[in-house]
A and B are shown apart, each in its own frame.
Chain A
């Protein structure tokens, strides 16, 4: 079920009408209600997906219980849990990638193994949001293994955490130690919280439906026919368009998820904090997809040794983390290169310490933007060769303006840039009016946003991060 669909609005109205009634009953009923509702939400794509999440969840639920019960064998249970989760990911997400590459490798040595054509059909389907819930599930058992979390004995409590519909398919990746206790408490939602949740939902829809969906046309046209223009200016505009499209698409989803969670009495942490106004790439990663970057930091970078084992090792660890993060996004070499490029720029930043050079200090925003945009090319391109061609065009000296670009889309990119500048210059912090007037302005601002969403909606598109 897509957030930007009519069926979801009907679903949400029914869910939030019933929730206050269910909240009056015992916790167990609430968890059952949330679990079943979330399964309906997820199964709307394809009912078979529900069995996968149940299978994946059951492994972790049982592994969590046995890690606690039999600490002697906790490594075995943790391994089983990791094997189950990573195995599911490999089967459904990476099997084609591995088959294709093994085919190429064996072909190189003269063997025709033809793995690709022998992959069972069920492995060709990519269940929506599989990467998100397997990571969420894994963090549950790892935290129990590390002694940071007590496993829940109630299976519905566990599934209401794992399958919670607002963040199930595209995050934010919420940790069990944050969410399980929240799910235990029945919280009465105040009118301010309800309004704040609504505000988040409307802002999320504005980002997705108005900004991201309208920018999409310009980006899709450019990447569908890369020979349409040789102009560097055209390609910088197209890639900037993509940078803002993916940002508004994904952060819009996160905002809607956070808003819905607020209506359920739950609190999710901020997932995006204006990443394009970062002065360093490191800062960018503290602002972009925060729940994923902290997940990788806590469960990959730090276990590898982090920065505790010397400078060189810390660089290597960062490279491994970024490459794995790239691979998490998609089963393609372009994603791996995207991760590696970020690792390269991060290492470069640490070695050269550009920010300390006075002149460059002021250019830091542009340098970060340059690095991020170059890396986005690999993220969006269909192939390595396409990405290289685009980058060559971007770095060429051909600055002709004789190209066709969707001016509507460009308008929304400019709006996006202005929004980020608003936050860069801290205009949002200026408080000209008293609380009462601010409340009224807030009300009018939300009404205007809803009108804009209705009248300036782009062509409905799926959220980009669903594919991951």
Chain B
């Protein structure tokens, strides 16, 4: 084994690999992700503030910001798809400094975290069951491992052939106390919706899980631990979806939470989600500051405030009232009394709301919000509202909203579709907003409005 050539080849290769890694400088997010979770799960340190919940918590709350304001050590115990059950409670108890005078638990409660699927706590258990060698290896060899980047042919082609500065749309920053700041360079505000809708079909909020959580809150408060709860903000459409499908009665839940001894925080909704579920970095900092300040100033609430409207567009600079009867802009949209029907007789019909060159809008848009009341006869036909930006007839951005994720059969639903327009947009680019429907089932539209910010 200890042949000269063998050792020389290993040393040479490692040196070159190190130099290449240093030169290329691409973060190994998988390694950093693993390290973040191993560190927070297996740390021996105790904290005065514990923040717990699912991915909306570990992506949406910065313990560092809370520490700054409350002046106490804080740890984010958020895990993917986590649920409030025994395993998470035990971990919270284990990490909380019970000897301290200040003992605070902040629970980020999502409808998902109260479902039976979530209470399986697969991610949390996977972290807890990590082999000793993995934990030791992470503790002592993380820095060495971090020095070696991980490349792929695609990354190399992007960086050196296409000379692109953006290697991934998904950006993540990892912080020591469990927060993962995340955002998309090009936001996809509806990305998470279909998956949530699918999972809520067979998996809704369980009364038993809520009861166990309330009992646990009682135990904590009896032990002089202050328990705070809040609903982590996501997006307007996500909350509509969760209210329609999850089976959670937010008002009743908040009342029960307060009765159990907990304190409720009304964090508002003025935040931005990059995928419809998780908050982008700036919003996460804003939320963390808000939580800390509410706790510091004892500004808890004793009722639930549904302020979904805060998600709606603000500071509208330009408004287009869509005239659906105009044949020039809205081909193949037929009018029927007060409502408009898209896609009646033909296959693959497009019903356009807007086709305009940016120069015609007179401003460079940053965000475009489309609001409309929509009625579907058949959600299974999977109709879509599509937003395109085209340059020289080439598609440079496409965002799609699956209407069946939001609308219920034969029920008028207010649909909000907002898109962040990339900074690189040019005046010569075209914006197209249209409905796409493969089936012959009509889509009814009322009060369609496009707001340009």
Q: A residues bordering B, Cβ < 8 Å?
A: 5-7, 12-13, 16-17, 44, 191, 194-195, 197-198, 214, 263, 407-408, 411, 443, 446-448, 450-451, 454-457, 459
Contacts and interface: CB of A to CB of B under 8 A. Distances in A.
A121 to B, nearest CB: 17
A194 B17 contact: no
Nearest first, the 7 closest Cβ-Cβ pairs linking A and B are A450-B13, A16-B1, A194-B3, A454-B17, A7-B133, A411-B153, A198-B6
A407 B3 CA distance: 39
A12 B12 CA distance: 20
Given A446-B9, A450-B9, A408 B153 contact: yes
A307 B151 CA distance: 52
B30 A459 contact: yes
A30 B14 CA distance: 33
B201 to A, nearest CB: 16
Interface in B86-143: 133, 137, 141
| Among B5, B14, B150, B151, residue most surrounded by chain A Cβ atoms (within 10 Å) | B5
A443 B148 contact: no
A191 B9 CA distance: 14
A455 B5 contact: no
B395 to A, nearest CB: 14
Nearest to A12: B1
Nearest to B149: A455
22 contacts: A5-B133, A6-B137, A7-B133, A13-B1, A44-B133, A195-B5, A197-B1, A198-B1, A214-B152, A407-B154, A408-B153, A411-B154, A446-B13, A450-B13, A450-B17, A451-B20, A454-B13, A454-B14, A455-B150, A455-B151, A456-B150, A457-B150
B162 to A, nearest CB: 13
A455 B148 contact: yes
Given A5-B133, A6-B133, A408-B153, A455 B21 contact: yes
B53 to A, nearest CB: 27
Contacts of A450: 9-10, 13-14, 17
Given A407-B154, A451-B13, 6 more contacts: A44-B133, A191-B3, A197-B1, A450-B13, A451-B17, A454-B17
B3 A198 contact: yes
B16 interface: yes
Given A7-B133, A7-B137, A195 B152 contact: no
B148 to A, nearest CB: 5
Interface of B: 1-6, 9-10, 12-14, 16-17, 20-21, 30, 133, 137, 141, 148-154
A194 B1 contact: yes
A16 B9 contact: no
A407 B152 CA distance: 10
Given A5-B133, A194-B6, A455-B21, A447 B150 contact: no
Contacts, number: 71
B133 A456 contact: no
| Among A191, A408, A451, residue most surrounded by chain B Cβ atoms (within 10 Å) | A451
A459 B1 CA distance: 27
Contacts of B137: 6-7
Contacts of B5: 191, 195, 198, 443
A455 B1 contact: no
A447 B152 contact: no
A267 to B, nearest CB: 16
B416 to A, nearest CB: 28
Contacts of A191: 3-5
Contacts of A194: 1, 3, 6
A455 B20 contact: yes
Nearest to B151: A455
Contacts of B10: 450
Contacts of B14: 450, 454
Given A16-B2, A450-B10, A455-B20, A408 B30 contact: no
Contacts of A447: 9, 12-13, 16
Contacts of A7: 133, 137
| Among B1, B16, B21, residue most surrounded by chain A Cβ atoms (within 10 Å) | B1
A456 B151 contact: yes
A87 B3 CA distance: 45
A263 B133 contact: no
Contacts of A5: 133
Contacts of A451: 13, 16-17, 20
Nearest to A262: B1
B3 A195 contact: yes
A33 B45 CA distance: 40
A194 to B, nearest CB: 4
Contacts of B20: 451, 455
Contacts of B13: 446-448, 450-451, 454
A446 B16 CA distance: 13
| Among B21, B149, B152, residue most surrounded by chain A Cβ atoms (within 10 Å) | B152
B158 to A, nearest CB: 11
A456 B152 contact: yes
A263 B1 contact: yes
A408 B167 CA distance: 14
A5 B152 CA distance: 21
A160 B142 CA distance: 35
Nearest to B137: A6
A454 B148 contact: yes
A6 B3 CA distance: 21
Given A6-B133, A195-B3, A408 B154 contact: yes
B153 A195 contact: no
A451 B133 CA distance: 25
Nearest to B150: A457
A361 to B, nearest CB: 36
Nearest to B153: A411
Nearest to A442: B5
Contacts of B153: 407-408, 411
A77 to B, nearest CB: 40
Contacts of B21: 455
A446 B9 CA distance: 7
A360 B17 CA distance: 47
A455 B2 contact: no
Contacts of A214: 152
Contacts of B6: 194-195, 198
A372 to B, nearest CB: 26
Contacts of B151: 455-456
Contacts of B12: 447
Nearest to A449: B13
Nearest to A448: B13
A447 B7 CA distance: 11
Contacts of A16: 1-2
A407 B153 CA distance: 9
A309 B154 CA distance: 57
| Among B3, B150, B151, residue most surrounded by chain A Cβ atoms (within 10 Å) | B3
Contacts of B152: 214, 408, 456
Contacts of A407: 153-154
Contacts of B30: 459
A44 to B, nearest CB: 8
A12 B13 CA distance: 19
Contacts of B150: 455-457
| Among A13, A407, A454, residue most surrounded by chain B Cβ atoms (within 10 Å) | A454
Contacts of A13: 1
Contacts of A263: 1
A459 B137 CA distance: 16
A185 B380 CA distance: 72
A398 B150 CA distance: 36
A455 B84 CA distance: 39
A408 B155 CA distance: 9
Contact of B17 (A12, A408, A455): A455
Contact of A6 (B17, B141, B148, B149): B141
B292 to A, nearest CB: 37
Contacts of A459: 30
B34 to A, nearest CB: 10
A446 B14 CA distance: 12
A346 to B, nearest CB: 38
